[in-house]
Amino acid sequence: MDFDDAANLAKSLMAEHKLRRWVFVFNRGKRTLGMCDFTRKRIELSMYFVTHNDEAAVRDTVLHEIAHALAGEKAGHGPKWKAVCKRIGAIPKRLDHEAVMPKGHWVAVCPSCGESHRRFRRPLLGRHYFCRSCGAESGQLRFGIPTLSGVD
């Protein structure tokens, strides 16, 4: 699934279930599909997971995490959490948190010349990257993780 679509889906489900003051973020986890961070009030999805799964799977995961947020940290995967799952339409089962997600390095396609740029290390937050041939104005790069078939 596309990152933007996944983020929009997660945000709209969070709004629908009245998770006020909670935010949605992506993470780079390779072993967990989604995460509910009670301390920071964040629902997180793995970028790897999103890239390699369809909308139905992303929706199930978001609802699973929303149920955690609504049920509270102490509920774990117990009866209280399961009751919330039933109410909001989440599958009341523990997720397969050990799913192996494929490795990928970071790829960005220059919006101006279409050349693909690769990084092996995670792009730094808040830092702007740009295509050397096109410059900072027209060649802004946004790195993502490629699908299994790659972006080339």
Chain residues binding Zn ion by CB under 5 A are 110, 112-113, 131, 133-134, 139
End-to-end CA distance of the chain: 18
**102-106-112 Cα angle (round to 5):** 135
Name which of 139 and 144 has its Cβ closer to Zn ion: 139
CB of 133 vs Zn ion, minimal distance in Å? 5
Q: Which is nearer to Zn ion, 43 or 145 (CB)?
A: 43
Q: How far is the CB of 42 from Zn ion (least distance, A)?
A: 14
Closest CA to 26 of 6, 56, 55: 6
Q: Nearest approach, Cβ of 2 to Zn ion (angstroms)? A: 22
8 Å CB contact between 144 and 122: no
Is residue 29 within 8 A of residue 22, CB to CB? The reply is: no
Q: Which is nearer to Zn ion, 102 or 111 (CB)?
A: 111
